[in-house]
Structures are given as C-alpha cells and as structure tokens.
Amino acid sequence: MNPDAPQSKFNIAASSHWRDGSSLPGIQLTWLLALLPAIAAGMFYFGFAGLRVVALAVVASVVAEMVWNALVPNRDFASNYSCVTFGVLLAFLLPVGASWWLVVIGSVLTVIIGKKLYGGWGAYPVHPVALGYAVLAVSWPSRLDYTESLVGQAWSVTMVEPMRLVKTLGASAQVDFNLVDLFLGRQVGGVGNALVLWLLLGGLFLMLVREIPWQIPAGGILGVVACAALLGLVAADRSVGPVFHLLAGSTVLMIFFLAPEHTTSPVNPWPMFLYGLLMGTLLVLIRTFSVHVDGAIFAVLLTNFCSPLLDRITPSVVGREVQDVA
Amino acid sequence: MSILDVLKPPGSRVPVPVGCALEIVDLPAPDQVLIPLEYPGQILFRPLVQAGDEVACNQVIGRSEHGNFIHASISGKVVELKTMWAARSFHVPAVVIEKNDTPPLVGDELLRQCDIDPQSATRVDLLRAAGVVSPWTTPGHNDSEVDIEDYPEIIQIVIKGVNQEPTICSFRLLLRTRTEEVQEALRRLAEIIPQARILLAVSKAEAEWASESFSDLAEVVPLSNDFRGRIERQYVGRLTGIKVPNNASYRSGGVAVISVEQLLDMYDALEGRPCIRKTVTLSSSRDFQPVTVRTVVGTSIGDLLASQNLVVEDGDRVIMGGPMTGTAQFTLETPLSKFQAGVHVLKAKDIVADTNLICVNCGRCTRACPVNLQVHLIGRCVEFDQFDEAQLYHPTACIECGLCAFVCPAHRPLLQMVKMAVNFRG
C-alpha cells in the first residue's frame, strides 16, 4: 500500500453492488419461522412440558455458543442464530419429560462438538443436531424413551412408538395405528419430531420461499416410498407400507429440516436429488433391518458423509470447451 | 423489490428496470475534460499533442499503432498530459483540455488530419478517422490490435437495443428518439456487409413497436425483463448459436456485437461527424428520478452529477456502469469514456458491505450462475490461497454478470474471488 495515496471519501467495493436482501441471520430466522407451527402444536399437545425442553435447549445452545466465542475467536457469530435453530431441532428429538441435564448436555454437544470444533456454521461435515442426538442415543438410550414421558396423555391411540411396535411385533402391528392420527401428530414421539402435519407446513413454507431447494425433499420422499414399496414385495412380514413410513416417527422432520441443512447437503441439482433419494432409502433400510427404532438420525449422519462425493456430479460449465481449445 | 420476489429463485430476484423519462437531455460541454488515451485494456494511443498546445474540437489528439484515432471533445488548451485511473481501474495516460472559443474542425479537415485523402477514402477509413471502435476495430481482451486482421468474416451482427444493467436505459432511448437514423444506419450496415444476418435485441415491452419499425431491416428479438435474460454473453450465444470464449472477442466466432449507440456512431462517422459524444443514464438508489443525458467524452462524473443536481455525500458509492457489474469510483474526477453507459449512486444507507464470513455452502451462487460455475468452491479455494486448485473449476468461463455476489447471504465478494482465481493462476 502506498501511504501517500489519496484517501477516498466514497465507499469502494467490487461488483455486484446490489444484494438480494438475504443474510445469514435471515436464513436462520426463516427456518425458525418454519419451525413455529410445530412448536405451537407441541404446546397444544403437551402443554408447557414440551416448551420447557425447547426453551432449555435453546438457552443451553446459545450460552454454549457465546462462551465458546468468548474463548475462541472465530467467524461464526451467535448473531446468526444458527445455535437457536439447532437448539430447537435437538429439542424436537428429545422426549417431553427429558431430564434437564440431558437437554443441556445434548445442546452443548450439538453446539461445541457438532459445530464449533469444526469452525462453525459452514464448516462441519455432519448435521450438528444429528451428531448431538446420536451421542445421547448411544450414551443414555433408556433416557430417550418417548412412551414414558407421555404416560399422562389422554389420547385414544396406541401408546407405543409406531416404529417400535412394528419392529417388535412385525408389519402386521401397523393396523393398531390410524393414519389420520399419525398425520395430525397424535402418536408417541418427541417434543416435535412426530408432529407430521405441522412440520410439513413449515417444510412447504421453506420450499415456497426457496430457502431449501425442492430436489432434496422430493428425492427423500421418493426414496422412502420406492424403498418401502420394494421391501413390501420381498419382505412383507417385516416391512410396512410407504405411507406408514412417511407418517411415523421423524421422517418428515428428516426430509424437510435435517436433510436440507445447507452446510451438509449438496448444492447441485442432481446431487441434491440423489442425496434425498439415498437418505430416504437408508431410512427405510435402517428401520426395517437394524436394531434402531427410528433410523432418521443415522440415515442423516450416513448420507451427510456422502454429500461431498455426490456434489462432484456437476452440470458442465458453459464455455469451458471453447476455453480449453483457445 | 416486491414482497412476492421471495417466491422466485434467488438468481431471478434482480429488480426489473424501472421506466425512464422518454427523452435525452443534451448537456453543454464542460469547462474542462480529461480524455483517457485508451480503450479499456485494449488499445493504447500515443499522444499527438503536448501541454500548452491549442486544440480544436474534433482534432485528433492520439493515434494508435494500428491507425485508430482519438479526438478532442472540446476546443481549448491542453493543460497537461498525466496518468490517471480510468473508470475500470486501468492506469492510463490522459490529456487535460481547458475550454476556449476555437471553432471546431469540420468537413475534409477531419480526414486530412488523419492522413486520409477525402477523395479516395474507404468506409473503414471514415470510421477510423471518426474514432469509431466497433465492430471492425475492437480486439478482445487477450488479443492485440493486430490480431483483428486474422478474424474470420462477419456472418452475424447482434445489435444491443437494451442495456444489460437494470438502471441504464440509454440504448432503449436512442432507439426511440433516433428511430429514423437507426433505420438508415441498418440499411447502410446491410450494404456494407451484405452476407451478414442482422439481429436487433430489444426489451420485451418494446417488441411490438420495434418489429413494426425495424422488421424489414433486422430480425427483432425481444429479451425478457429479467436480468438473467439480458446478460449479453448469454443471449448473444443463444441467438447466434456461436459460443465465443469469454476472454476473446466475439469476432473470433464471426460475430459482431454492437450497441445501438455504436451503430449510430458509425452512421455519424460515415456522415463525417466524429464520435465525441456519449449517452449516459444517471440514477441513484434514493430520491432521484433516473435521467438520461448526452455529453462529451471526457466529462468528469462530478460535472455530470452536478448538472442534474444529484448530490453525492461522503460514504456513498459512486458506480461507473450499473449496480450489477459496474466499478465503484474513488474520485469524482474520473471522466466518462466511450464505454460506460451509466452512473449509479448508491446512497450510504443502501450499501450492504462485503464480509469475510464463512461460506455456509447454501449453493445459491452456484445455482444462480448462468454458466454453471461451482462458485462456492472457487470462492473457498481463493479464500485459502489455493489458486491451482481453483483452476479445476474453470473460473475463466466466468462472464462477470455479478449474480453470485448478488445472491450470497453471507455477503462474500464472490465475483471478486472468481476474478482472483482467473488472474492469479499458474
């Protein structure tokens, strides 16, 4: 730099000079807006017990984020609200009556191990919430039992997690569940992961405002439906129908909120579709053949690792061939 | 932007052009002009005058190696020869002229000063003597002036009747206000290059009027109002079916691309009027109705803005060109050259500053890119100095439309990063 160079009184920057009005906090606020219907429905179904878990998780996440930022300077600021969204998403996966320490540990794991250790939003290889929940699930599996928390509920539905009953009694157990009940969220589940209709509303909103691309949910739904339909042909005794898979457990949360997370999903059109397809397929396979009851989290973790690989399928660069000749 | 824009993909959210007043205001010549002796990055002129010389308007003041000329745009005294930063940030020599009352050069004098015999002058001689630079005399970014002779024959001519930048409406207005001259110019063009197919790109709103006025002279092609549909490299490739490398001249593919303004300049040149005037649209992000003015080349931005009472305060951004691809200026002394069609003032309140936030991999840049670059990866490579790695993603195919930076929610200077990947390679 030349110290004698004249200082300009104008603002200087490279083009483009217009921006489309989006921002990082804007993205996370859109996601939180999309999660609101499910939070509200959770309050309606479970009262303040559900809200308690959400609030606890959010507070713990934000505190963890701010403490880390105070100790380790980095470029991922608490002001982008990513820790709030992750707190809410983690709370959705936890039981309504989760112990406070479980929520706090889960939130801290999500924010610190899942996100901050890698450098923050934009740098982690797998969804922090999936990672945080997975650690809880292998550390305290009995503490994450959904049924126990809902003992007091006066619902006229089968009070067992749908996928658990199907896993223990075989595919024939699906007749114990009414699909409409499942759709409205009247099923045994966590604070928000099984509130199908309300999550779907939020997910459609995200797609409508182009916050998430349509390819990932479309691929996810197609993956679940196709894989469940195929399994219905070859292993009818243990496999339930596609609609049941879509409505039971965390499928909708996974397809609309966990899969399209920006950092861990591919960005090109075909890879996004394949990513969704792979995740949906894995979900049904894990549910049908593994010991895990709801495979959503593990499907997310496994597919996240594939996304850089999938993203190598790129549309060809226009003008590239001419360049090489020239 | 309207609230419904959120329903569109981010790359289509560039505001559509607003209506301009349907007139071009002629400005009087300023008291002083600063004439850069170059065409951006392409042709360098050797000055033919020195400090203290008296020059007349239209007098040749610079000559290139290959016989192209640049003219004084006002009569006056050469105050000094100096170096300056041109509008697109090239460091170039320039001539400062202070106005006096010397009468302008006219008629055969114009040709004689260029050593051209008025009796035997060809059309190309006339164009050169008038300082018209296209399409016969403009090389591409990577070509030297001499390479022009090796270009293939012109088989298609695309005439830009609409500006790429949403804030600029000079081409549209020229088409409207000088319709008959444009028609005559198109007739001449067809005479000069009878084998060429002539296309006239106009905005969709004017398609009907344009096809009534020009359909027997050129193929009228309407372009959509969306910024994506107006990106020059994109629609030229689409309309002509010929892909030209982004760093080369269209001419290497047998295509000539000129604006309506350049077409009219050529017409004027054949009529014996040198190219010393320029039409520009002045606009601002607030409290200012866009206005299109015609003034002489070399007028400073400061004089231009002052003539229309467009106030610039400290902290504002003054952009030569438009808001998508224009260049921010660090001083109001920068003169208008033949290549900028607009000046846009972005008020301090409307500026969104660039950041160095982490890329969150949302992929909007990559999905918005009209040439399918992996912008998010190029940006990250450049951020961490991996310029060789960045070459794997073909940054040279970038057409610099600015959409990647426009859609980036982290406000990263993405276009700048792609340009760095191009310039720092190897």
- B317 vs A13: CB contact, 8 Å cut-off? yes
Instruction: State whether residue B244 sits within 8 Å of chain A by CB.
Output: yes
| Complex ipTM value | 0.91
Tokens of B60: 């040749």
Residues 52-81 of B with CB under 8 A from A: none
Q: Print burial letters for B57-72: b (CB count within 10 Å at least 16), e (below 16).
A: bbbbbbbbeeebbbbb
Separation of alpha carbons B48 and B78, rounded Å: 11
What's the start-to-end Cα distance of chain B, in Å?
A: 41
Residues B167 and B218 in one domain: yes
Residue B377 placed within a domain: yes
Indicate whether B1 belongs to any domain.
no
Together in a domain, B164 and B257: yes
Check: CB of residue B111 under 8 Å from CB of residue B101.
Answer: no
8 Å CB contact between A273 and A214: no
Nearest to A16 by CA among B415, B73, B264, B23: B415
Question: Do B334 and B412 lie in a common domain?
Answer: no
Bridging pattern class, strands B24-26 and B342-346: unpaired
Number of domains in chain B: 4
Residue type, B126: L
Among B285, B315, B350, the domain boundary falls at: B350
DSSP, collapsed to helix, strand or coil, labels residue B335 as: strand
As a three-state string, the secondary structure of chain A is: CCCCCCCCCCCCCCCCCCCCCCCHHHHHHHHHHHHHHHHHHHHHHHCHHHHHHHHHHHHHHHHHHHHHHHHCCCCCCHHHCHHHHHHHHHHHHCCCCCCHHHHHHHHHHHHHHHHHHHCCCCCCCCCHHHHHHHHHHHHCHHHHCHHHHCCCCCCCCCCCCHHHHHHHHCHHHHHHCCHHHHHHCCCCCCCCCCCHHHHHHHHHHHHHCCCCCCHHHHHHHHHHHHHHHHHHHHCCCCCCCHHHHHHCCCHHHHHHHHCCCCCCCCCCHHHHHHHHHHHHHHHHHHHHHCCCCCCHHHHHHHHHHHHHHHCCCCCCCCCHHHHHHC
- With CB atoms and an 8 Å threshold, state whether B243 touches A12: no
Q: Give contacts of A120 with chain B, Cβ < 8 Å.
A: 358
Report the alpha-carbon distance of residue B296 to residue B114 in Å, rounded: 21
Contact A20 B406 (CB under 8 A): yes
Q: Are residues B223 and B299 in the same domain?
A: no
If asked whether residues B42 and B113 sit together in one domain, one would say: yes
- Residue A322 is predicted with a pLDDT of 53
Token code pair at residue A60: 């713990």
Residue B41 tokens read as 């990055």
In B275-341 the beta strands, taken as DSSP E runs, fall at 277-284, 291-296, 317-320, 327-329
Which pLDDT belongs to residue B140?
47
CATH code at B323?
3.10.20.600
Question: What's the domain range around B115?
Answer: 31-129
For tokens 């995200």, the residue is: A206
B4 located within any domain: no
Q: Could you count the other beta carbons within 10 Å of the beta carbon of residue B239?
A: 17
Angle between helices B260-270 and B170-177 (to 10 degrees): 50
Q: Which amino acid is at A213?
A: P
| Contact in structure between A55 and A104 (CB atoms under 8 Å) | no
Per-residue CA distances from B206 to A93, B215, B234, B289 (Å) = 56, 13, 20, 21
Q: Does B314 touch chain A (CB under 8 A)?
A: yes
Query: Hey, of A2, A11, A79, A85, which one would you mutate to test binding to chain B, going by the most B CBs within 10 A of its CB?
Result: A11
| B209/B103 same-domain check | no
Contacts from A103-107 at CB under 8 Å and sequence distance 24+?
A: A103/A53, A103/A56, A103/A57, A103/A60, A104/A56, A104/A60, A105/A136, A106/A57, A106/A132, A106/A133, A106/A135, A106/A136, A107/A56, A107/A57, A107/A58, A107/A60, A107/A61, A107/A64, A107/A132
Question: Which of B129, B151, B176 is at the close of a domain?
Answer: B129
Residues B105 and B167 in one domain: no
Regions of chain B where pLDDT drops below 50: 139-142
Of A6, A27, A264, the CB nearest to B409: A27
- Greatest Cα-to-Cα distance within chain B, rounded to the nearest angstrom: 67
pLDDT value of position B143: 52
**B8 in contact with A, Cβ within 8 Å:** yes
Instruction: Report the SS3 class of residue B275.
Output: coil
pLDDT at B139: 47
Q: Is residue B205 part of a domain?
A: yes
Three-state SS for B106-156 is: CCCHHHHCCCCCCCCCCHHHHHHHCCCCCCCCCCCCCCCHHHHHHCCCCCE
> What residue ranges define each of the domains in chain A, with the CATH number in brackets?
24-310 (1.10.3430)
Q: Answer yes or no: is B214 within a domain.
A: yes
d(CA A230, CA A277): 14
**Tens-digit pLDDT profile for chain A (326 aa)?**
566 666 788 998 888 899 988 999 999 999 999 999 999 999 999 989 999 999 999 999 999 999 999 999 889 998 999 999 999 999 999 999 999 999 999 999 999 999 999 999 999 999 999 999 999 999 999 899 888 888 777 777 888 888 888 888 888 888 888 899 999 988 999 999 999 999 999 999 999 999 999 999 999 999 999 999 999 999 888 889 999 999 998 999 999 999 999 999 999 999 999 999 999 999 999 999 988 888 899 999 999 999 999 999 999 888 765 544 43
- What integer pLDDT is reported at residue B45 of this predicted model? 84
Of B270, B291, B306, which residue sits at a domain end? B270
B327-329/B32-36 β-pairing: unpaired
Inter-chain touch B346–A6, beta carbons under 8 Å: no
Cα-to-chain-centroid distance, residue B357: 32
A 10 A CB-CB count for A197 gives 16
pLDDT at B168: 92
| Statement to judge: residues B246 and B139 lie in one domain | yes
Two tokens, residue A321: 């061939």
Scored b (16 or more CB within 10 A) or e, B32-49 reads: bbbbbbbbbebbebebbb
Phi, psi of B281 (to 5 degrees): -100, 125
Provide the token pair at B411. Answer: 């406000």
Q: How far apart are CA B331 and CA B410, in angstroms?
A: 28
- Please report whether residue B47 resides in a domain: yes
Q: Is B237 helix (H, G, I), strand (E, B) or coil?
A: helix
B397 closest CB neighbour out of A75, A315, A318: A318
* Residue B425, pLDDT score: 72
CA dist B322 to A12, A215, B401, Å? 14, 34, 11
- In the block, residue with structure tokens 């084998």: B195
Helices A128-139 and A82-93: angle between axes, nearest 10 degrees: 40
User: Angle A48-71/A100-108 helices, nearest 10 degrees?
Assistant: 40
Are B35 and B122 within one domain? Answer: yes
B356 to chain A: which residues are within 8 Å by CB? 75
In angstroms, how far is CA A299 from the centroid of its own chain?
Answer: 11
Inter-chain contacts counted by CB atoms under 8 A, chains A and B: 183
**Closest Cβ–Cβ partner in B6, B314, B372 for A209:** B6
Task: Please provide the size of chain A in residues.
Answer: 326
Option in B247, B314, B330 nearest A12 (CB): B330
The residue among A147, A247, A259, A158 whose CA lies nearest residue A196 is: A247
Q: Are residues B144 and B209 in the same domain?
A: yes
Give the tokens for residue B389: 């790695």
Same domain, B215 and B288: no
Biggest distance spanned by C-alpha atoms of chain A = 83
Tell me if B14 is assigned to some domain: no
Query: CATH no. for residue B171?
Result: 3.40.50.11540
Whether residues B147 and B257 share a domain: the answer is: yes
Q: Is B418 part of a structural domain of the chain?
A: yes
- Helix (H/G/I), strand (E/B), else coil: B383: helix
